[in-house]
């Protein structure tokens, strides 16, 4: 039976009247619940089996005697009724990766005033399969291990993302079919989590810059959530992707010039007060990509010895590493698998930095590559990626440009029609075997569908 979860945020209860209205709404209490705390006790103890996650109890306490009594009612009800599981926790916060400033997760600022990018901080319980909601056939079955602002927004947003199968490719390689997603790429994991967050905090309009799959994913989830959306794409972006963005009702603005210039134009718009739903800036995106690893663990009942992950901006890498650390800290796995990070040989600022032992991405001039999805010359979270790579001995491998078409063709002849950036993963795997010897028990992500990269 699914355990119903209620997230009760003390910050929403700073006066008696507010508390009354908020509790009635969030716990769906019957109309006869008044401001009377005895009635609240009766309501709580008559709830079906549930988990109540009580956040920011300090904010309630600041109401004085009434606040303290209110908290006691929750505790007394949980003590008397074994069907109620009460946990007290901090609310998610954003921490600046540069200066350490903390702000509530409901902040709408794209980055810290010092320019640093945000990182999420919240109480994360140890990973346990017991806490996976097996009644949900989407990635939110792992929501106990994701930062969520409430337990309702994701229900309005989910389109069944995640839960992608793992299939055998040959004796040594398994493929995780992560393009089996609503918008045909793994970016749906991040977009679903990010747009659920937007809905929770009442965002009604977002902007995003993307030349590829992330723009499609954000546009689709905004459509689902009823949130206005404008996607900025650089000139030369695939007409198919532009059509798809517009089909979701989003405004698609084509910006002349480079990809970097397109991002600058979009950020200017964000600075004027529109929410910046960007897959690199916004840490909620990584809450979604974490589920890639949780799924692998649940599906296989273990972690493969090797995980090959493509790295451009690192949206999958950062989420995956975080989830792996979580599994390790929780004792679910005994050792870290060998992570192999693939970068295009024509655009490898992280691989070069890692080989030189540097903490910041190397300054490079990217050359055109078919693996356009990972061709990021200046990854904004490069230092974070490099620090994790160093900590866990991640092996960087470059994608041979002349191996991409062959890999794509080999996959297609085995029934798998993926985009070039995805085929690059298999090309990287092959180079890895050529350089280091046979790599067995390796999981490779199939992150984008082929139809989207046929120009
Ligand atoms: Zn800062």
Q: What distance in angstroms lies between residue 313's CA and the mean position of ligand 1's atoms?
A: 20
Instruction: Give 234-256 pLDDT, tens digit per residue.
Output: 988 888 889 999 999 999 999 99
For residue 194, the CA-to-ligand 1 centroid distance in Å is 21
Return phi, psi of residue 343, to 5°: -130, 150
The closest of 281, 279, 260 to 271, measured between CA atoms, is: 281
CB burial of residue 449 (10 Å; 0-12, 13-18, 19+): buried
Residue 252 to residue 81: CA distance in whole angstroms: 53
CB atoms closer than 10 angstroms to residue 88: 16
- For the chain, which ranges sit under pLDDT 70? 1-2, 454-455
* DSSP secondary structure, 400-411, as one string: PHHHHHHHHHHH
**383's tokens:** 């230092």
* Spacing, Cα 92 to ligand 1 middle (Å): 17
pLDDT of amino acid 1: 53
Centroid of ligand 1 to alpha carbon of 394 (angstroms) = 28
Asked whether 8 and 23 are in contact (CB, 8 A), the reply is yes
- CA 197 to ligand 1 center in whole angstroms: 22
Q: Residue 153 C-alpha to ligand 1 middle, in angstroms?
A: 29
98 C-alpha to center of ligand 1: Å?
Answer: 5
Rounded Cα distance, 185 and 244, in Å: 13
Q: What structural domains does the chain harbor? A: 4-89 (3.30.370.10), 166-182+285-453 (3.40.50.1100), 187-281 (3.40.50.1100)
Taking the complete model, does pTM exceed 0.75, yes or no?
Answer: yes
CA distances from 101 to 58, 95, 116, 318 (A): 20, 6, 10, 21
Task: Give me ligand 1 centre to Cα 113, in Å.
Answer: 6
Spacing, Cα 101 to ligand 1 middle (Å): 5
Q: Kindly give the distance from the C-alpha atom of residue 104 to the centroid of ligand 1, in angstroms, as a whole number.
A: 14
* The pLDDT of residue 121: 96
Query: 277 C-alpha vs ligand 1 centroid, how far in Å?
Result: 19
Q: What is the whole-number distance in angstroms between the Cα of residue 219 and the centre of ligand 1?
A: 29
Dist. CA 381 → ligand 1 center (Å): 14
Distance (Å, rounded) from C-alpha 54 to C-alpha 90? 8
How many angstroms is it from 67 CA to the middle of ligand 1? Answer: 33
Whole-number Å distance, alpha carbon 102 to ligand 1 midpoint, is 9
Q: What is the pLDDT of residue 118?
A: 98
8-state DSSP, 363: P
Question: Minimal CA–CA distance to 321: which of 390, 372, 376, 421?
Answer: 390
Ligand 1 centre distance from Cα of residue 173 (Å) = 42
- Say how far apart CA 327 and CA 298 lie, in whole Å: 11
CA of 362 to the centre of ligand 1 (A): 23
For residue 87, report the distance from its CA to the centre of ligand 1, in Å: 31
Rounded Cα distance between 70 and 167, Å, is 52
CA of 118 to the centre of ligand 1 (A): 8
Gap from CA of 283 to ligand 1 centroid (Å): 15
Ligand 1: centre distance to CA 109 (Å): 11
């Amino acid at each position: 039976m699914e355990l119903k979860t209620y997230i009760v945020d003390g910050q929403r209860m700073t006066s008696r009247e507010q508390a009354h209205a908020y509790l009635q709404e969030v716990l769906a209490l019957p109309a006869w619940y008044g401001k009377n705390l005895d009635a609240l006790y009766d309501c709580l103890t008559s709830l079906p089996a549930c988990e109540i996650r009580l956040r920011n109890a300090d904010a309630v306490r600041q109401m004085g005697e009434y606040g303290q009594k209110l908290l006691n009612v929750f505790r007394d009800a949980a003590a008397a009724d074994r069907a109620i599981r009460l946990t007290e926790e901090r609310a998610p916060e954003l921490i600046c990766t540069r200066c350490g400033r903390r702000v509530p997760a409901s902040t709408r600022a794209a980055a810290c005033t010092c320019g640093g990018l945000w990182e999420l901080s919240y109480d994360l319980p140890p990973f346990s399969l017991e806490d996976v909601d097996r009644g949900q056939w989407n990635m939110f079955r792992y929501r106990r291990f994701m930062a969520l602002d409430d337990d309702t927004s994701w229900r309005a947003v989910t389109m069944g993302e995640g839960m992608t199968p793992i299939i055998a490719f040959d004796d040594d390689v398994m493929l995780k079919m992560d393009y089996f997603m609503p918008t045909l790429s793994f970016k749906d994991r991040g977009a679903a989590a990010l747009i659920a967050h937007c809905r929770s905090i009442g965002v009604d309009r977002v902007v995003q810059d993307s030349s590829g799959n992330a723009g499609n994913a954000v546009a689709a989830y905004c459509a689902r959530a009823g949130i206005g959306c404008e996607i900025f794409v650089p000139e030369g972006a695939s007409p198919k992707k532009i059509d798809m963005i517009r089909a979701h009702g989003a405004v698609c603005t084509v910006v002349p010039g480079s990809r970097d210039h397109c991002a600058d134009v979009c950020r200017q718009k964000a600075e004027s007060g529109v929410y910046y739903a960007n897959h690199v800036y916004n840490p909620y995106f990584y809450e979604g990509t974490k589920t890639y690893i949780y799924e692998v663990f649940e599906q296989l009942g273990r972690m493969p010895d090797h995980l090959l992950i493509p790295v451009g901006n690192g949206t999958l890498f950062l989420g995956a590493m975080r989830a792996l650390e979580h599994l390790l800290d929780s004792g679910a796995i005994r050792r870290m698998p060998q992570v192999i990070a693939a970068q295009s040989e024509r655009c490898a600022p992280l691989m070069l930095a890692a080989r030189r032992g540097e903490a910041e991405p190397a300054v490079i001039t990217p050359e055109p590559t078919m693996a356009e999805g990972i061709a990021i010359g200046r990854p904004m979270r490069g230092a974070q990626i490099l620090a994790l790579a160093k900590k866990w001995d991640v092996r960087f491998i470059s994608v041979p440009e002349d191996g991409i078409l062959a890999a794509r063709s080999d996959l297609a002849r085995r029934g798998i029609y993926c985009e070039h950036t995805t085929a690059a993963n298999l090309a990287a795997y092959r180079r890895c075997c050529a350089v280091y010897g046979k790599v067995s028990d390796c999981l490779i992500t199939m992150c984008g569908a082929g139809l989207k990269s046929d120009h």
